Structure 1
Amino acid sequence: MSIVIMVGQLILGLSILVILHELGHFLAARAFGIKVEKFYLFFDAWNFSLFKFNYKGVEYGIGWLPLGGYVKIAGMIDESMDTDQLAGPPQPWEFRSKPAWQRLIVMLGGIIVNIVLGIFIFWVLTIRYGETYIPNGEAKYGIVPGKIGLKIGLEPGDKITAINGKEVVRFEELTSTEVILGNTDLTVLRGDQTVHVKVPGNLINDLSDMGIDQFISRIPRSKFVIDSVVPNSYANAAGIIKGDSITAVDGVKIQFFDQLQSELKKYAGKEAVLEVKRHNTVTQLTTNVNSEGTLGFKDGRTGIAAKFTQPKEKVLKYGFFGSLPIGANKAIGTFTDNAKGLGKVFKGEVKFNKAVSGPVAIATMFGSHIDWIRFWSLVGFLSMVLALTNLLPIPALDGGHSLFLIIEMIKGKPLSDKFLERSQIVGFVILVTLMVFVFGNDIVKIFVKK
């Protein structure tokens, strides 16, 4: 059932984005008196569609090939590769008959709609929910770095006070794109000393394989109690119950869950003596520790879940109009952050296969249960990513068409139909190759993480 929910949210989210993107082209074309012949969600390859109907001379439908969607504009060389209509003289209602600036607006229509949609979604979310964050000062026990964080020099309990010299106000800033895009200087308070930790420019390569929590946990370091114990686990056999506080491992005092994890790893495959506080009474329990260093099972599964003492969150509420700049900044920030990430790929700082995600990864991001805040946040994010992707100067994408139109405007005459046809074929091959690559890359990432 969880897979069905993930796939369902993926299809719904992408369908909303594709329909509205193509609607941008459709409305711009109609505004300039250009005839639109088809409006499709997904591709009706070989003229086979799952559903279609005609309304006012336009065929609307759903294709069988879920690789996006399209509008077929008369007099334009596009995904359909229908060049027969170009054999005759240009008609006044055709795309090719219109001035280059009008055709450019038509090609940018989808991108404009995606940007407006992204801003609108983040605006509405801000109106409805405001902003909730953990003040950095409330993280009084510091951070919990994962393998990646430890690798670059961070330590448990570090308090990051500034990023590139700018004071950290929100704890969430520590995992913001400003940090994870790398080449960032972190000012760290470690005990009574201030040190600087450099975040490398290729951090995304490791994050892609291991996840953001292996950099810095998004939950500040905090005290804990046992929230649940898995039946038949080593923890259960030792007598640990919900509400217990584990205060020492073989005499080594602990306060935090990451300390418990670190100490248990020293006893992997052996026995350990735990000091457990229960209802103001301290007792000692002997337990087996599995080969992974947890109180779970021989096969490595964990046996306990912790409940943390969460720092106090702060909620900011904005009015109807006050929410607009906040939402717009979030949307534009998403666009620029992804553009910076793409720039790192072109510079060779980040591997392409580490930077891209396909439908499998996106479905996982939606999650296995319905959370409408997460759903619309992700749709807003993907809308901005779709706008950026379509701006790329690849033939068959809006950016490729726009580039050719800009060249035409500079030259003062259009490029040849033969050149545009061949470019469209090349672009389509590139896009199909990329789609196959990102899909396969998603599958590989799943196995790498396992």
Structure 2
Amino acid sequence: MDILIKVIQLFLCFTLLVGIHELGHFLMARVFGIRVEKFYIFFDPWFSLFKFKRGGTEYGVGWLPLGGYVKIAGMIDESLDTEQMKQPVRPDEFRAKPAWQRFLVMIAGIVMNILLAVAIYCGICYTWGEKYFANEDAVYGYTFNTAAQGLGFENGDKIISIDGEPIDDVNAIAMTLLLTESDRTVVVERDGREERFTIPFEQLVDFRRSKGYEEMLMLRTPFRIDSVASPAALDAGLRAGDEVVALNGERHIEFAEYVGLLADHKSSDVQLTVVRGDSTAVLTVPVNADGKIGVTVARHDYRLRTKEYTFWQSIPAGIRRTGSVIANYWEQLKLIVQPKTQMYEELGGFIAIGSIFPSAWNWQDFWSKCAFISIILAIMNILPIPGLDGGHAIFTLWEMITGRKPSDRFLEAAQYVGLAIILVLLVYANGNDIYRFFIK
């Protein structure tokens, strides 16, 4: 059932995004009076699942869920219909229109995906606001995993800035470290004073490749006693409200650290330093055979903040969020194409994309994923690869600048090359999925 929910979300997401993308090409073509022969969601080699014809355009749903397309009359596209190009040019064909109109038709799908992401993020901001953990609320600092400690962080550190930029959102810490092409300089508050250290780029690459960013840090919880259940603990002097700050003279902050230390002193006494109001006391407390002292711990709830927006405030907020996601994803692409980062190993196909959806339906999460994937689709399509919108657009832009139009033969050859590149990328990305999810 969990897998089915993921599959449904992936299918709905791709249907929406591909439909919007192709609608952009379709509408812009019609604005300039260009005939559109086909409008398809998914590809339809040999047969289609559903189709009908209206106004000279065949609308349909293909059986191969690898995207979608519009077949624009007089254009060399993925259909590779070279016979049409041998016929006399008609005034309602793509090739009969000036270069600037053809350029706008080519980029219309990309623009639609960006506008869709903006609309979704505006809707999310207006409906649910922006939820985040504020870095300033980490009054006890963080507990770091082993990988993060290898970068130079220590348990209890409060992160002040990375490369001079203050950190506001806890969730942005890992992403800020990962999206870099150089060393990172980190400033933390450690034991009441500021400490500065530099993380080499090579270490950050290893950190990413090993997925050290997963559960990189946790907000620390102090050992504050909520109630005392054990008579022995009461006799030792422990009271509700006490905060344990040291064990056998060693000071610690995190409750989890004390749990481990107490387990090392089963069936023996320990010296606990507790803070009670304005005073401090050292108490001798017995530890039972289970490594417990017979108290319950006060829960320290870190407040999940929500920034709310009115309808009009949500529009610039949605635009800013879209811009931020575009910038972050572009930085990731730049790192992927650098062989030294070996981030090409992270490329994923349909299984990887489907896995980002939750196994339980959540509308906020679904729309957030749709906006993110819409941006990915826009950025991937703008790459100057023949067969993609960016490839078509770059040839048209060349024509606009030089006044020389590439020959049909050249465009056909480029289309074959582009389709080969796309096929290799698809095989590689989905092969990575098979290796990661079923073999590794």
Please give the TM-score of this superposition, normalised by the length of structure 1: 0.80
1:173-194 per-residue CA deviation (whole Å, 9 max, x = no partner) reads 313x332213322111111332
Question: Which has the higher Rg, Structure 1 or Structure 2?
Answer: 2
Q: Which residue of 2 aligns with 1:297?
A: none
8 Å CA contact 2:152–2:199 kept in 1: the answer is no
Q: Kindly tell me: are residues 210 and 408 of structure 1, through their superposed partners in 2, closer, same or farther at Cα, counting changes over 3 Å? A: same
Pair 1:136 & 2:104 matched:
no
Question: Structure 1 residues 412-421 or 192-201, which shifts more?
Answer: 192-201
Residue 285 to residue 54, structure 1, CA distance change in 2 (3 Å): farther
**Which of 410, 425, 428 lines up with 2:416 in the alignment?**
425
Unaligned runs of 5+ in 2: 225-243, 270-284, 292-296
Counterpart residue number, 2:10 = 10
1:443 deviates by 3.0
Partner Cα distance (1:40, 1:409) in 2: 29
Match of 2:304 in 1: 313
Deviations along 1:64-92, whole A, 9 cap, x unmatched?
11111100000001111111111111100
Q: How far apart are the structure 1 equivalents of 2:426 and 2:75?
A: 24
Q: 1:106 to 1:88 in 2, by over 3 A?
A: same
**Cα offset, 1:437, TM superposition:** 0.8
Cα 1:274–1:213 change in 2 (3 A) is: farther
Q: Which residue of 1 aligns with 2:288?
A: 284
Deviation sequence 1:355-377 (CA, Å, 0-9, x none): 42322122111121111111111
State the partner residue of 1:43: 43
Q: Quick one: which of 256, 259, 269 aligns to 2:257?
A: 259
Distance 1:429 1:161, change over 3 A: same
Higher mean displacement: 334-343 or 203-212: 203-212
CA apart distance, 1:125? 0.5
Deviation of 1:284 (Å): 2.3
Per-residue CA shift, 1:365-404, capped at 9, x if unaligned?
A: 1121111111111111111111111110001010000111
Is it true that 1:118 corresponds to 2:127 in the alignment? no
In 2 relative to 1, CA 429–285 (structure 1 residues): closer, same or farther, beyond 3 Å?
farther
For the residue of structure 2 that corresponds to 1:395, the secondary structure is coil
Cα 1:439–1:147, aligned 2, differ >3 Å: closer, same or farther? farther
Distance 1:274 1:9, change over 3 A: farther
- Count of aligned positions: 400
Q: Distance in 1 between matches of 2:200 and 2:337?
A: 17
**1:434 alignment partner, SS class:** helix
List alignment gaps of at least 5 residues for structure 1: 226-245, 276-280, 288-305
Mapped to 2, the partners of 1:307 and 1:398 lie a distance apart of 58
User: CA–CA distance in 1 between the matches of 2:369 and 2:252?
Assistant: 38
Alignment-derived partner of residue 431 in structure 2: 440
1:396-431 residue CA offsets vs partner (Å, 9 max, x unmatched): 010000111111122212111111111111111111
Instruction: After TM superposition, list the pairs within 5 Å mapping 1:39-438 onto structure 2.
Output: 39-45=39-45, 47-175=46-174, 177-182=175-180, 183-201=183-201, 203=204, 206-210=207-211, 212-214=213-215, 216-217=216-217, 219-223=218-222, 256=254, 259=257, 284-286=288-290, 309-438=300-429
Cα contact 2:266–2:287 (8 A) shared by 1 = no
Letter in 2 for 1:409: M
2:134 and 2:305 in contact (8 A); partners too: yes
Q: Which moved more, 1:107-116 or 1:149-158?
A: 149-158
Mapped contact 1:181–1:201 kept (Cα < 8 A) = no
Shift of 1:212: 2.9
Change (3 A) 1:201 1:331: farther
Q: Give the letter for the 2:24 counterpart.
A: G
| Cα distance between partner residues in 1 of 2:9 and 2:286 | 48
**What CA deviation, in whole Å up to 9, does each residue of 1:144-193 have, x standing for no partner?**
22232122111111110112223323323313x33221332211111133
Residue pair 1:49, 1:61 contacting (<8 A) in 2 also: yes
Residue identity matched to 1:373: Q
CA RMSD of aligned residues (A): 3.2
Q: Is the 8 A contact 2:32 2:101 kept in 1?
A: yes
CA distance in 2, matches of 1:41, 1:251: 68
State the one-letter code of the partner of 1:360. I
Cα distance in structure 1, aligned partners of 2:59 and 2:260: 60
- What stretches of structure 1 move > 4 A for 4+ residues in a row? 246-255, 260-264, 271-275
Please say if residues 43 and 65 of structure 2, whose CA atoms lie closer than 8 Å, have aligned partners that are also in contact.
yes
CA 1:250 to 1:35, structure 2 compared with 1: closer, same or farther past 3 Å? Answer: farther
- In structure 2, relative to structure 1, the CA distance for the partners of 1:2 and 1:189 (3 Å cut) is same
Comparing 310-319 with 70-79, greater Cα deviation is found at 310-319
Which residue of the partner structure matches residue 28 of structure 2? 28
Rate the CA distance shift 1:208–1:120 in 2: closer, same or farther, 3 A. Answer: farther
Paired residues of 1:20 and 1:114 also in contact (CA < 8 A): yes
Q: Deviations over 1:45-78 (max 9, x none)?
A: 2x31111111222111111111111000000011
1:104-152 deviation line (CA, Å, top 9, x unaligned): 0000000000110111111110011122222222111212222321221
In structure 2, C-alpha distance between the alignment counterparts of 1:173 and 1:352, rounded to whole Å: 20
Query: For 1:98 and 1:53, how far apart are their aligned partners in 2?
Result: 27
**Partner-residue secondary structure (3-state), 2:399:** helix
Does the Cα contact within 8 Å between 2:335 and 2:343 map onto a contact in 1?
Answer: no
The amino acid of 2:10's aligned partner reads L
1:254-293 deviations in Å (ceiling 9; x for gaps): 76465379779x99xxx97799xxxxx9862449xxxxxx
Amino acid at match of 2:3: I
8 Å CA contact 1:395–1:423 kept in 2: the answer is yes
